[in-house]
Structure 1
Amino acid sequence: DISFAIDQGLANRMELRQRKIDIESSQFDLIQTKALNEFKGSLGLSIGLFGDNEKFGNVYSNPTDNEEVSLSLTIPLWDWGERKSRIKATEATIEAANISFDEERNDIILGIRQVYRNLINLRNQITIARQNVTNAQLTYDLNLERYRNGDLTGMDLNLFQEQLSQKQLSYTNSLISYKLELLNLKIQTLYDFEKKEQVSPVMELEK
């Protein structure tokens, strides 16, 4: 199922996950950039008692009120447009990351579709190659009987034998090509369609 294969590829491919991480990282950078040179203020208030006496036990016998209020302001200096430039640069990075994500996604879809088409063609080739082997085998058997009856020379029989061998080799090659393309689909989707299970890239490397 081509739709299932594409869904698996989009869900499992690490390249696409990395593109998402790049987008999220760029968005976080934008938040930090916008927070630069902001007007900030803080107000602090403390109220307590202050005592002073040579004898420790009488420190608070004549206490003095001690109130303290603090106000701090952070006023950004004129940055001559530096903040806006940084914001624009970060927004451009986000846009580039989104474009990279879309391109990667399209490449994955196109790659899987191509592999799927190749598999269909290879299946047809296998069917044709199998039929060619059957026909070549029948032709060889008939001519082998003719050879046994003395109606065909050994050289002529060898020609039919070579034809049969070529058809068998072609059939074997088509099977190998199909297996290789099936492996390619497994790589493209990170899904094993023979075992019907997802594939972990780490596990594959360890094997």
Structure 2
Amino acid sequence: MIRNKKIIIIIVLIGFSIKIFGQDTLLITFDDAVRIALKESYTIKLFKSNQQSMQHYFSFYKATFKPRLDLNLFAPAWSESVNEIQQADTLPVYNSNGSMKIGGDLKFTYTLPTGGNLAFTSYSYREYISTAFSGMNYKRLNTNDVYNRFVISLEQPLFTKNRLKEDLKEAELQYEKSNCTYTRAQMDIIYNVSLGFYNLYRASMEKDIANEKMKNSEESFRIAKLKYETGNIPEGDLLIAEITKAQNKTKYSEVCSLLEREKDNFKQLIGLDMDKNIVIVTDLRYDIYKIDLDTAINQGLLNRLELSEAQFDIELQKIQTDRAKREGRMQGKISAYYDLTGVSTSNKGSLSELYNSSIDNIKVRPPNRSVVFSIAIPISDWGRSKSLYRRENCKLEEKKLILENTKNTIIKEIRDIVRTVEESRSRLSIYEKNKEVSTKSYKISQLRFSNGELTSQQLAVEQERLSQVQLEYLNAYITYQMALADLKRKTMWDFQNYRSYTAPLE
């Protein structure tokens, strides 16, 4: 009942974030550490950034199938230059030319599902041209025209893959792979947080054990001093008790320093402010549940994201192999346009008059039009395209071999970790009993020492044995917990709640 009340009090303190160790001290449970690390750690931010990058990369290629509207302006485009004019049977002359263009073009491009594009373009600009003739005492000739042009154009690749759809598929595979990498990184973070948390817990418990050992040696020294003063023990026993006390005090100072280093490592791992003081909260209770090897292997092969990543690598390499294969093949292209152009026929007037004149000119000027059907047929490249294809095909075979080897590695890892879990669980049970026996034995030794049945040296040996058993139990407990964490990571399966971890953890 007392133990249950103690646990309830700890939960209440954590739930309401009561800071009982000072204003800047933070109580952290294992679940708190995982939650903080999955939001604030350097590693999760790095993988999250990579995932977002791939998402934007995918969105870019999805957007290539949507229409595009572009506007280009000349506001203005002005130039003046001296040009050399060659003349027959005489020396060249040098005229001065000036030009200022104001206007722009508006282009609407629609991407066709076949990988080509259909574009509608409108050009409209006003141009001032001035020429000074050197042979006519630099007399100037000026023009002031408005140009209007309306074009519809088509471009369509032939006899080849739809490159836009291929790029989109590649971007989608890269994005899906980044999702797998991100989820796997989360599981790795949980495992690393488990390792860091229990390393910090070990350092904390080592401090408690060293503190208890130091206090026991101080009590032993106090009793030895009293017994020496009454003549019940020789001076040598008193000196042994005093040396033991000094050694335990030094050891306590060492483990305190180790604890602070582990705290800094853990704060960096989960992304906490380095100036924040933390105290972890846990107990040495552990869960025992049945682990079926066949289930572990089946779930590992079903859920392990390395297999999905390897499969994505195969699909990506297939795209590269197909591109290399097309290098030596015939390719074609069809291009066409229909162009209506108008130029103002009057050299003077207002802007609206010049504009209307160019529009009227469109009605009488014949249109520009063109259709081009081109074919590129490779005849011989002395084996370059074949070599490129064979190289990419070898890479594809490598990716397939990696996938098969990854499956075998996963099976081997799962078999090994299941054995480790069973071994560590058995070892933990043994050390738990050893700890109970050693604790009772040490209490008996303290009573015997008080009664004069044991010397200070014998009591110090019993004290050292108790500390060693406590540390062995602590290490066995941490080994078991880490084995369970590694089992979850390598199977992506929760054996306690019988569910998969393949969904991204938020």
Partner of 1:126: 207
Q: For 2:226 and 2:270, how far apart are their aligned partners in 1? A: 51
Q: For 1:80 and 1:15, how far apart are their aligned partners in 2? A: 39
Partner of 2:156: 76
Partner of 1:5: 33
Q: For 2:277 and 2:244, how far apart are their aligned partners in 1? A: 39
Conserved in 1, the CA contact under 8 Å of 2:264 and 2:274? no
The yes-or-no answer on 1:85 pairing with 2:166 is yes
Conserved in 1, the CA contact under 8 Å of 2:122 and 2:151? yes
- SS of 1:77's equivalent? strand
Shift of 1:136: 0.9
Superposed CA deviations along residues 50-94 of structure 1, whole A, max 9, x for unmatched, are: xxxxxxxxx99xxxxx88441232423134244443333222221
One-letter amino acid of the counterpart of residue 76, structure 1: Q
The yes-or-no answer on 1:25 pairing with 2:53 is yes
In the alignment, which of 213, 228, 243 is matched to residue 147 of structure 1? 228
Partner of 2:272: 191
Q: Which has the higher helix share?
A: 1
Q: Between 9-18 and 79-88, report the one with greater CA deviation.
A: 79-88
In the alignment, which of 125, 138, 141 is matched to residue 219 of structure 2? 138
- The 1:47–1:100 alpha-carbon spacing in structure 2 relative to 1, beyond 3 Å, is closer
Q: For 2:254 and 2:125, how far apart are their aligned partners in 1? A: 90
Shift of 1:103: 2.0
Superposed CA deviations along residues 107-136 of structure 1, whole A, max 9, x for unmatched, are: 222222333333344433333322221121
Q: Between 118-127 and 170-179, report the one with greater CA deviation.
A: 118-127
One-letter amino acid of the counterpart of residue 96, structure 1: K
Conserved in 1, the CA contact under 8 Å of 2:36 and 2:271? yes
Consecutive unaligned residues in structure 1, runs of 5 or more = 49-58, 61-65, 198-207
- The 1:44–1:29 alpha-carbon spacing in structure 2 relative to 1, beyond 3 Å, is same
Q: Normalising to structure 1: TM-score of the pair?
A: 0.69
- SS of 1:75's equivalent? strand
Aligned positions of 1:159-198 closer than 5 A: 159-192=240-273, 195=276
One-letter amino acid of the counterpart of residue 119, structure 1: L
- The 1:44–1:81 alpha-carbon spacing in structure 2 relative to 1, beyond 3 Å, is closer
Q: Between 103-112 and 35-44, report the one with greater CA deviation.
A: 35-44
- SS of 2:156's equivalent? coil
Q: Between 115-124 and 131-140, report the one with greater CA deviation.
A: 115-124
Q: For 1:192 and 1:68, how far apart are their aligned partners in 2? A: 65
Q: For 1:149 and 1:82, how far apart are their aligned partners in 2? A: 99
Q: Normalising to structure 2: TM-score of the pair?
A: 0.32
Shift of 1:38: 4.4
Structure with the greater alpha carbon radius of gyration: 2
The yes-or-no answer on 1:44 pairing with 2:122 is yes
Question: What is the aligned residue count?
Answer: 189
- The 1:174–1:164 alpha-carbon spacing in structure 2 relative to 1, beyond 3 Å, is same
- The 1:45–1:163 alpha-carbon spacing in structure 2 relative to 1, beyond 3 Å, is closer
- SS of 1:80's equivalent? coil
Q: For 1:115 and 1:71, how far apart are their aligned partners in 2? A: 67
Q: For 1:136 and 1:47, how far apart are their aligned partners in 2? A: 98
One-letter amino acid of the counterpart of residue 150, structure 2: S
- SS of 1:192's equivalent? coil
Consecutive unaligned residues in structure 2, runs of 5 or more = 1-27, 66-114, 127-142, 279-506
- SS of 1:152's equivalent? coil
- The 1:47–1:180 alpha-carbon spacing in structure 2 relative to 1, beyond 3 Å, is closer
Q: For 2:262 and 2:60, how far apart are their aligned partners in 1? A: 47
